[in-house]
Structure 1
Amino acid sequence: MIESIRKRFNEEFSQEKYQAFLKDIASDFDYAPTFRIAETPFFIPKNLQNQIFEGCNQVIDFIKRPDFKQLTQRSIELNTAVPNEDAHTQFLAIDFGICEENGHITPKLIEVQGFPSIFNFQFNLYRKIQKIYPFLKEMSPYPDGIDEEIYLKKLKEVIFGDFSPSEVVLLEIEPEKQNTKIDFYYARRDLGIPLVCVTEVIKEGKQLFYTNEAGEKTRIRRIYNRVIFDELDLRKDLKLQFSFEEKLDVEWAGHPNWYTRISKFILPYLKGPHFIETKLLSELESIPEDLENYVLKPLFSFSGAGVIFHVKKEDVEAVKDKDLYILQKKVHYAPVIQSPDGKVKVEVRILCLWPEKDESPTIVGNLVRLSRGEMIGVKFNKDKDWVGGSIGLFEK
């Protein structure tokens, strides 16, 4: 969208450079990520950046409301409740589609998650891009006041709290099999945090332990949680020594309840120019006649599971638990990135960190997803180029 930067990038781009870029990423751990990494960053002009941050601040203001927990308690009742919930989330991922409305480019909030994203991969992705395209050092994925040093400091503060890295684990379901394991590898390298599968956790009374690389049983004082309950509920084959629902002597970096509270559940509450008209099915007075202009989404799902894009009346009528689904007005993603052969749509995820002692979350970075398909996501972009995960770069 910044024409001069886009022109220079496209002129300098080549398949050889792109393959060298991918090879550089793969060389860190002798592992190539299983998700597609896009050919280009997204160059974000000041006016769009300001709109995105305005939308983020409005979301943050809502989450900081004194009655936020009361408003979202129903979401906990509908899901797994985990004890020892802290005062506020420590991670925020705020997703905006870059859309066209009345002839203008504008960001529209698609989703909010109180859950960690790929913070460590994005930190390293920017470094890799600069090596291939040095002129991009004049741009930054960090907002004003944030740099690499502050980014890592905030991340460590959130993940480790008052504990040493050996007392904190990154907890996941079979981390070696996850699509995002490149992020885990960078977390282990850059932060010194162990990767532990839920089946490897040892429980003694109310305390949890893991076995470190030296074979020593080590107390887990704090959990950097990457476990999604949707996946855990499906994995009946897994044998755990502990339950997330029991009161344990452990702290959370990313308490699981915030994944439930800060989710599509809050979208119907958000009103304003950067938000999309969203209604709970249970609060619909009548089914809209123009369903072709809506998307039907389950409140609690991960990675687009259960979303119906071409909604029919019978789809709405077939939903039994109407307080678990929303009907959301469609937005029109604008193809704003010029590729060598056509234009590409984009979604920007703003990454925020919120250490326990801070009054508010801090915007620290971003990731972007590029699409040529009907929707953002792998299944809509198979066999296409200039699509996939990347990073947004702001004008300095």
Structure 2
Amino acid sequence: MITELREKFNDKYSSENYEKLNSYFTDKFGDEVGFRMCETPIFFPKAFVGRLKQACDDVVSVLKRPDFKSITEEAIPKNCYVPNEDEHTNFLAVDFAVCKNDQDELIPQMIELQGFPSIFAFNIFKQQGYKEVFGLEENLSPYFTKSQDDYIQKLSNVILGGHDKENVILLEIFPEKQHTKVDFAATKEVFGIETVCITKVIKEGKHLFYRNDKGEKVHIKRIYNRLIFDEIDRWEPLDLQFRLTDTDVDVEWAGHPNWFFRISKSLMPYLESEYVPETRFLSSYDKYPSDLENYVLKPLYSFAGAGVVFNVESHHLEAIAQEEKHNYILQKKINYAPIVKAADEGDVKLEVRMMFTWADNQEKPELIINLCRLSRGEMIGVKYNKNKTFVGASIGFMEAE
């Protein structure tokens, strides 16, 4: 996207370097990388970064509304409500498609958002891999913080919350089966905390424990939560001593589960910004738009794009029961602009995730890093990009001021 840097990268690119990139991650994490790494990083021009930041500010302004909890209360399914919720989320991720306006300028258009962690730790190694393998300039950085050390410190403040690392766990279900497992390994390397499957959590009275590598029982004081209810439901029936909804446990949360629902697609109808496409609850329509081909249908309670209907027809809407329509949104379709010139051939679509932490002593979320995903398919995602090049996971670099 910075033309000079893009041309320089493409001129020097070779498939051998891409093999070196994959080897860089394999050497560090074995077969833990469960997704395709893209052949190229992204180079963000300053004007586009400014628009991304403004778009994020528009989102944050809604999170700061005094009535935020009341307008999002119904977003939490009754059977998924977790007690001891904190005042605000610890994590925020906002996804944007990269598009072009009528003036041929790059603009972000919001796809969705989540009050949930993303791959914060692996991003450290991802950017290092691109820099080392491709010899990127030292003044390029993916961080919105002062430095990498500052980035790690801000994450540590939120994840560890002042506790000893032995008393903090990353909670998942069957983590070895998750495609994000490389981030769990990276989290352990950076912060020293263990990843624990919820099936292994021991409950004694109101306290939680896990067993370390030595078989010793260790008190869990804080949970870095990476577990969502969809995943639990997928594996039921489960024999669990501890469930997220238990009311009698004494534990802190880094990423309380309720925020996954409060800050989600259900919030989009409340957002007003030039960077947010028109979005309405399906239940709010007396008459559906006549140009349904220009809309996308999304269920509120799904993860990783499950259940999204890209080519909407009237029968899709009619098939949804009236009492379920409040659980769906109809969003104006976004036209991704193929703006990343690949070194082999063609141009590629881009999606950017802006990632925040929000410590207890901060007034608002703080933007700290980004990640990128590239696609040649109709949508972003693995199934749309099989056997394609210059697609997959990446990260955006910015030139230092």
> Please, what TM-score do these two structures have when normalized by structure 1?
0.98
| Aligned: 1:342 with 2:346 | yes
Q: What's the CA shift for 1:237?
A: 3.9
Q: What's the CA shift for 1:12?
A: 1.1
Q: What's the CA shift for 1:124?
A: 1.0
| Aligned: 1:44 with 2:44 | yes
| Aligned: 1:218 with 2:221 | no
How is 1:101-116 mapped onto 2 (pairs within 5 angstroms)? 101-102=101-102, 103-116=104-117
Segments of structure 2 that go 5 or more residues without pairing to the other structure are none
Aligned to 1:285: 286
Q: Which range is displaced more, 353-362 or 383-392?
A: 353-362
Whole-Å Cα distance in 1 between the matches of residues 107 and 208 of structure 2?
47
**Identity score, percent:** 48
Q: What's the CA shift for 1:78?
A: 5.1
Aligned to 2:55: 55
Whole-Å Cα distance in 2 between the matches of residues 274 and 78 of structure 1?
32
Q: What's the CA shift for 1:221?
A: 0.4
Query: 1:146·1:364 contact (CA, 8 Å) conserved in 2?
Result: no
Q: Partner letter of residue 394 of structure 1? A: M
Whole-Å Cα distance in 2 between the matches of residues 177 and 64 of structure 1?
36
Q: What's the CA shift for 1:133?
A: 2.1
Task: Say which SS state the counterpart of residue 318 (structure 2) adopts.
Answer: helix
Aligned to 2:258: 257
Whole-Å Cα distance in 1 between the matches of residues 243 and 34 of structure 2?
30
How is 1:271-350 mapped onto 2 (pairs within 5 angstroms)? 271-320=272-321, 321-339=324-342, 340-350=344-354
Whole-Å Cα distance in 2 between the matches of residues 109 and 79 of structure 1?
29
Structure 2 CA distance for partners of 1:79 and 1:319, relative to 1, 3 Å: farther
Q: What's the CA shift for 1:395?
A: 2.1
Aligned to 1:391: 395
How is 1:188-227 mapped onto 2 (pairs within 5 angstroms)? 188-227=188-227
Match of 1:374 among 370, 374, 378: 378
Task: Say which SS state the counterpart of residue 347 (structure 1) adopts.
Answer: strand
Q: What's the CA shift for 1:345?
A: 0.3
Aligned to 1:240: 240
| Aligned: 1:351 with 2:355 | yes
Q: Partner letter of residue 366 of structure 2? A: T
Structure 2 CA distance for partners of 1:29 and 1:135, relative to 1, 3 Å: closer
Whole-Å Cα distance in 1 between the matches of residues 111 and 9 of structure 2?
28
Aligned to 1:184: 184
Segments of structure 1 that go 5 or more residues without pairing to the other structure are none
* CA RMSD of superposed structures (Å): 1.1
Q: What's the CA shift for 1:297?
A: 0.3
Query: 2:130·2:136 contact (CA, 8 Å) conserved in 1?
Result: no
Task: Say which SS state the counterpart of residue 137 (structure 2) adopts.
Answer: helix
Query: 1:346·1:370 contact (CA, 8 Å) conserved in 2?
Result: yes
Q: What's the CA shift for 1:356?
A: 1.0
Q: Map Cα deviations across residues 90-121 of structure 1 (whole Å, 9 max, x no partner).
A: 00001110012324321001111000000011
Corresponding residue pairs, total: 395
Query: 1:292·1:310 contact (CA, 8 Å) conserved in 2?
Result: yes
Whole-Å Cα distance in 2 between the matches of residues 131 and 172 of structure 1?
31
Query: 1:48·1:106 contact (CA, 8 Å) conserved in 2?
Result: yes
Whole-Å Cα distance in 2 between the matches of residues 146 and 154 of structure 1?
11
Whole-Å Cα distance in 1 between the matches of residues 162 and 231 of structure 2?
30
Task: Say which SS state the counterpart of residue 56 (structure 2) adopts.
Answer: helix
Q: Which range is displaced more, 107-116 or 239-248?
A: 239-248
> Please, what TM-score do these two structures have when normalized by structure 2?
0.97
How is 1:107-146 mapped onto 2 (pairs within 5 angstroms)? 107-143=108-144, 145-146=145-146
Task: Say which SS state the counterpart of residue 304 (structure 2) adopts.
Answer: coil
Whole-Å Cα distance in 1 between the matches of residues 165 and 77 of structure 2?
33
Task: Say which SS state the counterpart of residue 76 (structure 2) adopts.
Answer: helix
Whole-Å Cα distance in 1 between the matches of residues 243 and 9 of structure 2?
50
Whole-Å Cα distance in 1 between the matches of residues 32 and 244 of structure 2?
32
Q: What's the CA shift for 1:183?
A: 0.5
Q: What's the CA shift for 1:146?
A: 2.6
Task: Say which SS state the counterpart of residue 347 (structure 2) adopts.
Answer: strand
